[in-house]
Structure 1
Amino acid sequence: MRGRCVNLYGFQSTHSFYLIRNQDDPLGTWAADDREAYLAELLRLEGRGRHRYSLCRQCDSGPARFRCRDCLDGGMLHCQSCFVEAHRYLPFHRAEEWNGQYFVTRSLKSLGLRVQLGHSHESANQCIAPAPAPGDDFVVVDFNGVHEIALDFCGCYSSGTHTQQLLRAGLFPSTSRNARTAATILVLRHWHLTFLESKCSVYDYFYTLARQTDNTGLSGLRDRYDEFLRMTKEWRNLQMLKRGGRGHDPSGVAGTQPGECALVCPACPQPGKNLPSDWVNHPPEKRFLFAAFLAIDANFHLKRKAISSEQKDGGLSDGMLFYSPIGAYMRHVQKHWNMRQARSRCVAHDAVDKPDRDARGTASSGIGAVDCARHNMKRPLSVGDLQLGERYINMDYMFFRSISGSELVQYFVSYDIACQWHVNLWERMAAYDNELLTIDSGAKYFVFLVPKFHLPAHIEDCNIQFSFNLTRFVGMTDGEAPERGWSATNALAGSTMNMGPGSRRDALNDFFNDQNHKKIISFGTAMLRKVHEAAPLVIETQQALADLESGFSPETIRAWTQMAVAWEAAATERPNPQPNPFESRAKPTFLAGVQRQLAEEAAVKEAAGTESAGAVRDGMHVTELIAGGLQLEEQQRSLAADMSALGAHATDRQRTSIVERSTKLRRKIAAWIDIQLQFFPVVEQLRLADDAARARVAAQAQTVPGVRVGDIPLWLPSAIKQRVGATEKTRDGCTEEILMFEYKMRVGEGNEALSTVRRLLLLRSHLYSQKDRNASGVRAQTRSNTRIKVVEERIRRAVAQYQTAWRALRVLGKELQRDEWETTLQELKAEDVRGMPRMHFGDPARQRGSTSRSSAAAPADEAAVGLDATASQAKRTRGTGSTLGLSWIWVRQAESRNEGDPEEMDEALRIEWARTRARALRWNEELDLLEEEMRRILAFFSWRAEWWESRPAVQGTAEGGRDTAGGRAGIRAASGGAPEGPTRII
């Protein structure tokens, strides 16, 4: 297409729309306009191109038949002597010879090139007494292939050993005795970074190089994989030792202390390195700034098959980095292997209660690790192999070894099974009777918590006792650091599974050290981002708390604060003996309670051998499947609400967040459906029928058929029963027992949603009242309206959850012939979603029909108006009371209390106040922690730079040693002290 364009000066010029089209679709433009030209040029490279002369252009005498595939000379042809001379110091370039019809591959060795090592005399380039490699046969692995070369060692007395000559030439020998194979330092560095970034195995990497040399398999190239594998192991170990400063220590490698070569977290408290001298004297309310945040977890992707043994493959970095010394670790495991382990008193944890699952045929069923919970960095000596699931004897060793010898006093420990693991922890420590695993628990302060993502799967008590959100001094730590790290590490599972024990530990140690390194160099931008997020939220949450507290008397706030402080002070006691400010005294059976009851019943049946056939498929009980479906329903509702809340001016970050959440939820649903089909095969037919119907509708509308993730039907048993015909009900898989499982869960879900609706309606009433009494001015009114809108959105979500549960109960009740649920869980219509009339709050002004500003201006009692109430409904509720009367959602509460009893209102507001206070405290703590962490990072970098500068020079390599130490010191100083660095900016 061609068109007419007008430039900035008003002149018209004829142009194609090439530039615009190229920007919009560069690949399509290339395919349409340039592909043929590219192909022609590539074919031209296969021949001589413009170099068709017969004599060498360099000497004008010899026949020009040779060219180099790696030199940037456009494929110029040379004679043999000139070609060899030009590659005297480029022995690993690839040569080709023109045979009159096409180019054939030739080696520089066959053309007469000999590589001279070790000769440093200025008078001559060749040694007068060269010593050819054994058998005049030497192979070098470079990043562009595997090369056979003719290599001569120097025979002069001052040239050093053959190994030294190779290393000084940048060639890493495969053995120190009569080496016949070497790899260039360049290819080893390239392999190392490739492994760390792409997790490519040595096998795949080496044979990629081999195919670069000969992609036909006809040249008879000898295999050097075993030699290259050995060199990569040695190179990895030497890099670790060099970067750990062992080359600068007079005691050498033998003097390496346990964990000394591991990169430690500069943001975590390190006594003597980044803490002030008086850190132990800070007041109790500030000691959390010097606490260690630890996160424990296991990974069952990183298995190892029963291949090789410690005797054959013990590794090269035993005890130097993250894995504890294997000898001591295995002696501990063997000594306490028969220690009894109590079964879970929380939900079933298969990794603990069923440790033999997926462990058959493996020497290691996975690994365990201890990370720093706030920065996702592995801690020294904190990793170990698991033999049979997530046994306490393994995880205890890693935990105690990680903190052994630490001078820190306060620890916050996150573990997804902390609720059961910590119970007899100190008794187990005493039973181990191991000095390395013994700490003075009486002199230290430990708080055990469950990571935020894992916590909802626990019983209700755990959700209170082990919550990060409700615990003082943890900031916004979520405890999920190991899970983020595993996502990168899991890519190593395929290659490490078939390694020997030592090689696998070396590979994982190396990878963990690199992960720590990448975390360290990203601290500047990461900390800046966190501060930008935390600073405004500190102000926002403090203001929200102040706004809420302004509506209560000082005595009420004082009483609630005393209750909250007492509960927080007893955080280390399990269970907490103090009254919980976050929960209601009146507790109907909620979903979590129903799930716990069903789990206990299933455990009893399983133990007695009376579990129904087909109740467990692929290791999952049908109750777990249904519970997972209910969670997915809630996530769909939440996502749909957030998507609808996106305005026309949403930021890229908001839109990206929605896309990422949609993708993750779609993956979760797909995985859940795979298991669902094992219980209910009929679902596949239902989904196919829906897809066909959707395709027909799309065809009529001429649109692309599809379904948003929030609209994907999950087909729980109630939905299946509602859809299938009477003739199909005998084979839909929904037995009466399964229907009863969902029935009980739906009753619990309905009770919980209804309780949430009531609590939020009461909060909205309070906010309306506060707005009328205290919000004067545009700014205050806007802030109040914003908070009310937030609460109203939460009400809508709770209402949607209740209505979903109610519709399912209507189907299930009919199938099971049960109607008792209808007495408490009625249909919730829009007009039912209204607050309790003021007379039920004991409001004298409202009861007297006061026409004061506070009573007349508010929409009744928030005012008994539903979320979708019309203006006429709002008008009818003004004045002395609500003509709509008391909604049925309040009837049972009103009947159980004396008229005018404000207990329901007080309890709902106390819970909301406690949560608002907790949010404000967490964000304030987070900002304090970030400030202290930034100070520690700078202090640690300064200490590390001084440490490198103090390293002694090594005899014979003084300049190289100084360069390494100085370079490392410079890197550390630049990371933390550069005036323009991100951390310095903060």
Structure 2
Amino acid sequence: MGYDGDGEHNLPTMPAAEGPAAIKIKIKKPKNENSTHPVKTWIPHRQKYLDALLQLEGRGAWWVSGCARCGAEDPVWRCEDCFGGRLLCFNCVRIRHEDEPLHILQEWTENFLHPRTTRDLGLRFQVGHPGGKYCPFAHLSPPKNGFVVLHHNGIHVLDIDFCGCPDSPAEPYQLLNVGWYPATWKEPASAATISLLRRFHQLNLQARLPAYDFYHALVLQTNGSGLRKPPDRLPQFMHMVREYRHLQLCKRAGRGHDLSGIAGTAPGELAVPCRACPHPGINLPDDWDTAPPEVAWIYRLILSEDANFKMKGRERSSRENDPTLGPGWAYMVAHDKYLEHLAKYVDQDEISHCVSFAALWSANNKRAKGLRASGVGSVSCSRHEMFRARGTGDLQKGEKYSNMDFLFFSSLIGVFLLTIVASYDIACQWSRNFWTRAKAMPTEMQLPDWIEILFKVPKFHLPPHVKSCHGPYSFNYTKGVGRTDGEGVERNWSWLNSAARFISVMGPGSREDTIDDLCGFSNWRKTVDLGNSLLHRLVLAIPQAMMHSRAFHAFTEGLREEHGEELQEWERTIRAWEKDPLNAASNPFEYAELTAESMADVMKRISEEDHLRVSQNGAAAMQVKPAAFLLAGMEIEQMQSEIALEAKRRNRTTIQATDLQRRRTLLLGKISALQDIQDTYMPGLSAFLAKQPAPSTVDHSRPETIKIFLPSSLPADVREGICLPGLVKNEEDLRQAQATEALRDLRSGLRTRTFAHRFKRKHLEGQGMYTKSRSLLEAIEERIRARQGMLDLRGSGEWESTYRELQKEDVRGMNERLMNEQEKEDNRKARALAGLKDDGTQDTDEFGEPVDLTVLFNLETGEGHRVLSWIWYAETGNDEVGADGKLHADIRVEWAKARARADRWREEVVLLEEEMRRTLVFCGWKARWWQERANVEREVAPAVAEGMRAYALEQADREDRWESKWKAQWAAVRERAKVALGGDVGNVEEEVMLPLEVELEEDGREELEFDDFEEAY
């Protein structure tokens, strides 16, 4: 839908696609002649503008010419709503407004303009007859108070006459014929113009303007000074608005074209369906239910369910006084059946929430006193975020199984698909005993036996769950869901919550009718924007699918030659897990637990030894805590390394310099504290140092250079004599644990660098070049320091086969290698062409460290015959065996994740192409549906029949235009998707690598005016 002015756009500005098959995106800006002019902070010629505004308060410049119509002298009447604002004489203004009852008039008297109305002219207005013709049998509206009409420019009191001819329609029909909506059926004395109701509908849906505020804006227009109080019609306005909402829902759903009329409306029939979702018999092929497994997954329905505790409902009115106009006809469930089901589970507890979200849920659910509804639950389609018909309902107290089950099953009435994916933030609990609870549902909600339901947790909500939930309930590892995140219903809440304030004070019926209308508008807005939204997603998905597929292919080829059997075993394990993730013995996507002794484990063991020593030697032993002392020393060493690295940073900012000084001060304090207690643990240290040559002056301004004396820094022959018994062994154990954890951190950092950067390419075509980050440098330093400590304490031995000396060429990711000489030469030539000086010296990074550029192995040529760094084979306590050459377990996990990423992105392209096809087919079906209704013959007046036919043909035409427009808009990208999907996973056709430019409208809603929403679907 289109709106005047600058609105909020559905589609953000999209970044350029990364990697191969980049698709250029050009945003089509709406035409706005003023959009290129900068906004000034001052108003040019503002004094002249102000003078012009003041002139309008008088008679203007033309009054001396006489009446603008007849030329009579001294005209004193002016109309605010007629063009030009010229003055007229009494006779002319009266004649001109015989058919304009809702204009605001002014009279020049006492040297200023006084407000007047058409009633002041003595005019009466005839309804029920064409303009200018009066009924000989006219009967008057209430003569004392007049007839009240609400219009854009205020609240009017008029004198009107109804037609009294023998065959005349009832008074409400006469009002409707002139575009006035009556406030009541019996003896109407008030009305609102339909154009006013339409405008409020726009503002209420788009700007969330409450009816109360809108009405009082009309009062302000009519009586800004408070001197001419208009009649109070707020209750009548509320009543008219509610009826208008309901009738618009019925009209858009074609109920006026059905022989059974509004009374024959079926449950959910007034809802706007998601045309991109599967609908058997409408947008699916005839043989969809017999498709093989490798194809059948594209016909899944993916739903999201959630509760929203912002949408509270206060205890106002009653259902007897405020019933729902269309119970269960749109999005809100029929209340009677809903309560009948809930009554069976009055004592049921709320669903317990997992981990981190429990506190948030508890906070949202507080202060339920005085509420009819503590919130709402709802079901929507996950991929397109459209509310499901009959899938929304009030929550009486908290989030119970009985509520959420009923809403879920209600949203599936009439669905006959083979598989449904159900996303819920507590699916891990909700899925338990699900089918047992399903048997208790009403008969019309029972699911066919063949339907399979897969339970998943939305991506954002999954991390706080316990570890055992992460694999089985993850969208990332589920086949056939593409890049669905399951969070669609959460984004719908942000839409509804903006209206929560005024909805909360409504009666039960008004509340449900308003929520129905808001959900309908949300669905309609997303329907109109399907052209952009699906195109946007496919534009981004194609290069991502190619990039991840090719990266996975190259990753696999790099391992296949020496580890082919392991790869086959990994593939078998993943396939078995995918078939039944809940019952699988292990999750192939989880890292193995660190079984080697970590620093925390060593600390625990040393503490237990301390406890035993205290129990044996009494209280005196409590002062000796060697583990804490050693840990403090090792922490100081780590801080010294980090500060020394930071001190090398070039072009340090003021903030960074301040932080460096703060850290140095903190480090100096820690060193001083350590030295104060060092004699307790190393009683012979002072005597040993006294015999050494005099050290150079200690530089307290650079505490990172101060030497820390731990057992490993002392000569082996005097070490035991200087330290307390067991201290050397304790440090040896801690150093080994430190080396183990540092190696694990180093691998983790390299994995992050390799995969999280999405294989960015810089400097060389087809290759990505990387330098070491600060975190990697720190991990390397810690690894080197720990190994050196072990070497000093243990000397050479078999342990060195696992904890090898770390060389700079060893620090590379699984998909990285050092540049060869030819590539270095190419890099030098590239620098020369770019005008960069090449003096033969080695480049350094911002910390002054030499840069040994590594590259991702060349994806274009499929290079994979390179040897992994030993850090990926090293045995550090995980379940791999490094000695026999088997791959590190972390590589298996990363390979499995890379496989899943490639599969999900490829599925996303397939799903989006299928959704585009379904959308176009749905448009064609809907056009034929409206064409059929254009020929429905109901027993109505000829004028009504003509309106019915015109409306149906208008809707059919819009569906045809949508189909043509979207088909052309998507054509190029759909063709690109087919080419990408048709190529081999690792060797996609080069045609797909060519740039493709597509055009997106900046705001899809601007293609359709809001009036189309009023008259559409």
Specify the SS of the correspondent of 1:42: helix
Q: Which amino acid aligns with 1:508?
A: I
Q: Is 1:70 matched up with 2:81?
A: yes
Specify the SS of the correspondent of 2:158: strand
Partner of 1:135: 143
1:412-439, Cα deviation, whole Å (9 max, x unpaired):
1111111111112112222x25213322
CA contact (8 A) 1:114 1:152 kept: yes
Q: Partners in 2 of 1:262 and 1:826 — Cα distance? A: 71
Partner of 1:907: 889
Q: Partners in 1 of 2:361 and 2:403 — Cα distance? A: 11
- Note the C-alpha offset of 1:902: 4.0
Partner of 1:880: none
What are the residue-to-residue correspondences of 1:557-706 with 2, within 5 Å?
557-571=567-581, 574=582, 576-587=583-594
Specify the SS of the correspondent of 2:471: helix
Q: Is 1:520 matched up with 2:507?
A: no
- Note the C-alpha offset of 1:267: 0.2
What are the residue-to-residue correspondences of 1:338-349 with 2, within 5 Å?
338-339=347-348, 343-344=352-353, 349=358
Residues 589 and 262 of structure 1: is their aligned pair in 2 closer, same or farther, counting only changes over 3 Å? farther
CA contact (8 A) 2:350 2:399 kept: no
Q: Is 1:228 matched up with 2:228?
A: no
Partner of 1:17: none
Partner of 2:958: 971
1:854-876, Cα deviation, whole Å (9 max, x unpaired):
999599xxxxx99979449999x
Residues 65 and 980 of structure 1: is their aligned pair in 2 closer, same or farther, counting only changes over 3 Å? farther
Q: Is 1:478 matched up with 2:461?
A: no
CA contact (8 A) 2:573 2:588 kept: yes
Q: Which amino acid aligns with 1:35?
A: R
CA contact (8 A) 2:302 2:382 kept: yes
Q: Partners in 2 of 1:101 and 1:185 — Cα distance? A: 37
Listed as ranges, the gaps of 5+ residues in structure 1 are: 1-20, 595-643, 645-696, 723-747, 772-777, 807-821, 828-835, 848-853, 860-864, 876-884
Residues 837 and 25 of structure 1: is their aligned pair in 2 closer, same or farther, counting only changes over 3 Å? farther
CA contact (8 A) 2:873 2:888 kept: no
1:95-146, Cα deviation, whole Å (9 max, x unpaired):
011113111101111111211111249xx62222321112351011011111
Listed as ranges, the gaps of 5+ residues in structure 2 are: 1-33, 602-648, 671-736, 791-798, 811-816, 823-843, 855-868, 975-1017
What are the residue-to-residue correspondences of 1:51-70 with 2, within 5 Å?
51-53=62-64, 55-61=66-72, 63-70=74-81
Aligned to 1:937, which of 919, 931, 942? Answer: 919
Partner of 2:41: 28
CA contact (8 A) 1:534 1:926 kept: yes
Aligned to 2:291, which of 276, 282, 293? Answer: 282
Specify the SS of the correspondent of 1:908: helix
Q: Partners in 2 of 1:379 and 1:762 — Cα distance? A: 41
Q: Partners in 1 of 2:739 and 2:143 — Cα distance? A: 83
Q: Partners in 1 of 2:479 and 2:456 — Cα distance? A: 12
- Note the C-alpha offset of 1:58: 2.2
Aligned to 1:438, which of 440, 443, 446? Answer: 446
Q: Is 1:357 matched up with 2:340?
A: no
Q: Partners in 1 of 2:87 and 2:258 — Cα distance? A: 53
Cα root mean square deviation, aligned: 4.4
- Note the C-alpha offset of 1:251: 0.9
Partner of 2:494: 487
- Note the C-alpha offset of 1:239: 0.5
Specify the SS of the correspondent of 1:550: helix
Choose 1 or 2 for highest CA Rg.
2
Q: Partners in 1 of 2:215 and 2:958 — Cα distance? A: 32
Specify the SS of the correspondent of 2:347: coil
CA contact (8 A) 2:878 2:889 kept: no
Q: Which amino acid aligns with 1:216?
A: S
Q: Which amino acid aligns with 1:434?
A: P
Q: Which amino acid aligns with 1:923?
A: W
Partner of 2:270: 261
1:392-423, Cα deviation, whole Å (9 max, x unpaired):
11111111111133111111111111111111
Residues 145 and 466 of structure 1: is their aligned pair in 2 closer, same or farther, counting only changes over 3 Å? same
Q: Partners in 2 of 1:750 and 1:221 — Cα distance? A: 84
Partner of 1:733: none
Q: Is 1:40 matched up with 2:51?
A: yes
Partner of 2:257: 248
Q: Partners in 1 of 2:60 and 2:413 — Cα distance? A: 69
Structure-2-length-normalised TM-score: 0.67
Q: Is 1:947 matched up with 2:954?
A: no
Instruction: Tell me the number of residue pairs that the alignment of Structure 1 and Structure 2 aligns.
Output: 752
- Note the C-alpha offset of 1:54: 8.3
CA contact (8 A) 1:66 1:79 kept: yes
1:452-477, Cα deviation, whole Å (9 max, x unpaired):
11112222222222111111111010
Q: Partners in 2 of 1:317 and 1:800 — Cα distance? A: 66
Deviates more, 1:133-142 or 1:335-344: 335-344
Q: Partners in 1 of 2:191 and 2:753 — Cα distance? A: 75
Residues 393 and 259 of structure 1: is their aligned pair in 2 closer, same or farther, counting only changes over 3 Å? same
Residues 170 and 510 of structure 1: is their aligned pair in 2 closer, same or farther, counting only changes over 3 Å? same
Q: Is 1:86 matched up with 2:96?
A: yes
Q: Which amino acid aligns with 2:366?
A: R
Q: Which amino acid aligns with 1:58?
A: R
Q: Is 1:893 matched up with 2:876?
A: yes
Residues 873 and 241 of structure 1: is their aligned pair in 2 closer, same or farther, counting only changes over 3 Å? closer
CA contact (8 A) 2:348 2:400 kept: no
- Note the C-alpha offset of 1:260: 0.5
Q: Which amino acid aligns with 2:89?
A: C
- Note the C-alpha offset of 1:782: 4.7
Q: Partners in 2 of 1:533 and 1:356 — Cα distance? A: 39
- Note the C-alpha offset of 1:518: 0.7
Q: Partners in 1 of 2:432 and 2:821 — Cα distance? A: 52
CA contact (8 A) 1:953 1:962 kept: no
CA contact (8 A) 2:63 2:74 kept: no
Partner of 2:412: 403
Aligned to 2:341, which of 329, 332, 335? Answer: 332
What are the residue-to-residue correspondences of 1:424-463 with 2, within 5 Å?
424-430=433-439, 432-440=440-448, 442-463=449-470
CA contact (8 A) 2:301 2:420 kept: yes
Residues 932 and 159 of structure 1: is their aligned pair in 2 closer, same or farther, counting only changes over 3 Å? same
Residues 341 and 251 of structure 1: is their aligned pair in 2 closer, same or farther, counting only changes over 3 Å? same
Q: Is 1:308 matched up with 2:317?
A: yes
Q: Which amino acid aligns with 2:154?
A: G
Q: Is 1:503 matched up with 2:492?
A: no
Residues 910 and 389 of structure 1: is their aligned pair in 2 closer, same or farther, counting only changes over 3 Å? same
More helix by share: 1
Q: Percent identity at matched positions?
A: 34
Q: Partners in 2 of 1:160 and 1:204 — Cα distance? A: 35
CA contact (8 A) 2:421 2:454 kept: yes
Q: Which amino acid aligns with 2:445?
A: L
CA contact (8 A) 1:534 1:927 kept: yes
Structure-1-length-normalised TM-score: 0.69
Q: Partners in 1 of 2:755 and 2:377 — Cα distance? A: 49
Partner of 1:962: 949
What are the residue-to-residue correspondences of 1:144-183 with 2, within 5 Å?
144-183=153-192
Specify the SS of the correspondent of 2:118: coil
Q: Partners in 1 of 2:544 and 2:308 — Cα distance? A: 34
Using CA pairs below 8 Å that are at least 6 residues apart, which structure has the higher relative contact order?
A: 2
Partner of 1:49: 60
- Note the C-alpha offset of 1:227: 0.8
CA contact (8 A) 1:754 1:798 kept: no
